Amino acid sequence: MFFRRFAIFIYAVLILIPLIMVMLTSMKTREETFQNPLGLPEAGINFDNFISIFYEQTMAGYFVNSATVTLFSVTLTLFFASMIAYGITRLNNWKGNSLFGLFSLGMMVPPQVNMVPLYSLVLNLGLTNSLLGLILVNIASTLPVAVFILTGFMKTLPKELFEASTVDGADNWKMYAKVTLPLSLPSLSATAIFLFVMHWNDLLYPLLFITDNAYKTLPLALLDFQGQYSTNYPMLFTGVLIASAPMVIMYIFLQRYFVAGMTSGAVK
């Protein structure tokens, strides 16, 4: 019993200390970090670094880029994947199964393996330094997981449901949009959260395709700060806080869905 409490305490401290340190350091000056890395900020609670990072960087631009790429990638992945999942579920034969197998292939190949040919493809299509390029690549890379989760869910829906609606004269589109989608909401929302976290935090694709500051997303901009600010940790951590804020706020309010979403993504 004592061991258990002690172990939990240690783990909690291990998670919390680095996070508290990020918040404290973001309120310090660079000199302060060198003199007193562990202590409280001399100026108390302040947002000086936040103000200067918005002066020095086009933070708002990065933020808008990240939001645009994430929103379009999540919505379109969900839309296309749910259509495919519906198709596989309805076909329910060898054709459906082979299509399912074809998409599952995408889960076995990590994106890092594809980076070289993908880069030349995107370059040839003239889609480097473009948010559209990022969105298209994002959709293709997360489509397999989304198809996998959504098909798994739709296959548990009762078959009679589809049959009854067909008798009522509903065509495929109506049955997809009016019957299947509303019933799949729990699994759609879990998948959405999983995709949100993945796309918002993605570094690899922006790193490969974006060199122009006007199109950089937050993770890539953050990586650049490392070059500009080097050991200016207060500025780096201010950037970390800004980049993480949307996810953290969502996590606080939608915690239950996050846990469900992030683990349904893992169960692949």
Partner 1 sequence: MKISKTIYLFFIPGLILYSIFFLYPTFSAVFYSFTNWDGISANFNFVGFENYTKAVTGDSVFVKSVGNNLEFMLFVVIFQTIIALIFAIFLVKNTKVNYMLRALFFFPTILSSVSVAFIWTFVYDPSLGILNQILSLIGLDFLALNWLGNGDIAIYALAFTQVWFHAGQMLIIFVAGLHAIPFDLYEAAKIEGATKWQTFKKITWPLLAPSATIVIAYTTIQSFQAFDLVFAMTGGGPNNTTEILSTYIYEVAFRGYDFGYASAISVIFMCVIALITYLQFKVLRSNRVSY
Q: Which of residues 141-170 bind partner 1 (CB under 8 A)?
A: 141, 143-144, 147, 163, 166
> Which residue of 37, 40, 56, 214 would you call a contact of partner 1, by CB under 8 A?
37
> Which residue of 27, 59, 69, 118 would you call a contact of partner 1, by CB under 8 A?
118
Report how far residue 57's alpha carbon sits from residue 46's, in angstroms, rounded to the nearest whole number.
19
- Burial of 120 from C-beta contacts in 10 A (0-12 / 13-18 / 19+): exposed
- Burial of 4 from C-beta contacts in 10 A (0-12 / 13-18 / 19+): exposed
> Which residue of 53, 84, 145, 210 would you call a contact of partner 1, by CB under 8 A?
84
DSSP annotation string for 90-126? HH-SHHHHHHHHHHHHHHHS-GGGGHHHHHHHHHHTT
> Which residue of 204, 213, 232, 257 would you call a contact of partner 1, by CB under 8 A?
204
Report how far residue 170's alpha carbon sits from residue 164's, in angstroms, rounded to the nearest whole number.
9
C-beta of 51 vs 121, nearer to partner 1: 121
- Segment interacting with partner 1 (CB under 8 A) among 40-48, 67-75, 148-156, 218-226: 218-226
CB 103 within 8 A of CB 147: yes
Binding residues among 242-261 for partner 1 as defined by CB under 8 A: 243-244, 247-248, 251, 255, 258-259
Q: Is 177 in the site for partner 1 (CB under 8 A)?
A: no
> Which residue of 29, 48, 50, 106 would you call a contact of partner 1, by CB under 8 A?
106
CB 44 within 8 A of CB 233: no
Could you tell me the smallest distance in angstroms from the CB atom of residue 80 to partner 1? 4
H helix runs in the chain, sequence order:
2-25, 30-35, 48-56, 59-91, 94-108, 115-124, 131-154, 159-167, 172-174, 181-183, 185-201, 204-209, 218-229, 233-253, 255-266
Helices (H) and strands (E) in the chain, counts: 15, 0
Q: Is 209 in the site for partner 1 (CB under 8 A)?
A: no
Binding residues among 40-69 for partner 1 as defined by CB under 8 A: none
C-beta of 172 vs 213, nearer to partner 1: 172
> Which residue of 119, 152, 183, 189 would you call a contact of partner 1, by CB under 8 A?
119
Q: Is 13 in the site for partner 1 (CB under 8 A)?
A: no
Q: Is 4 in the site for partner 1 (CB under 8 A)?
A: yes
Q: Count of residues for the chain?
A: 268
CB 84 within 8 A of CB 180: no
Q: What tokens were used for 228?
A: 């500009």
Could you tell me the smallest distance in angstroms from the CB atom of residue 200 to partner 1? 7
Q: Is 21 in the site for partner 1 (CB under 8 A)?
A: yes
Q: Is 228 in the site for partner 1 (CB under 8 A)?
A: no
> Which residue of 29, 129, 165, 172 would you call a contact of partner 1, by CB under 8 A?
172
